[in-house]
Amino acid sequence: MWHDLSIALALLLIVEGVFPFLSPERLRKALVAIHQLSDTQMRFVGLTSMLLGVVLLYFFNY
């Protein structure tokens, strides 16, 4: 289990690092736009992201 978790963390860091590396200015603009969202909108984005992740895990594992 810990091996899989460490691989998932490493992949997360790689994916998260691609955006600032390729286009730091676009990332700044996106972060400003995110900062302007209300708490309700942020919660909706977070919930949608989690649900999409669960659906993808389900399909990839079956």
CA angle 39, 40, 41 (to 5 degrees): 90
Question: Which of 41 and 1 is assigned the larger pLDDT?
Answer: 41
Q: What is the DSSP letter of 37?
A: S
Asked whether 19 and 28 are in contact (CB, 8 A), the reply is no
Which tens digit of pLDDT belongs to each residue from 5-59?
999 999 999 999 999 999 999 999 999 999 999 999 999 999 999 999 999 989 9
d(CA 38, CA 40): 5
CA-based radius of gyration for the chain: 15
- Whether the predicted model's global pTM rises above the 0.85 cut: no
d(CA 53, CA 25): 27
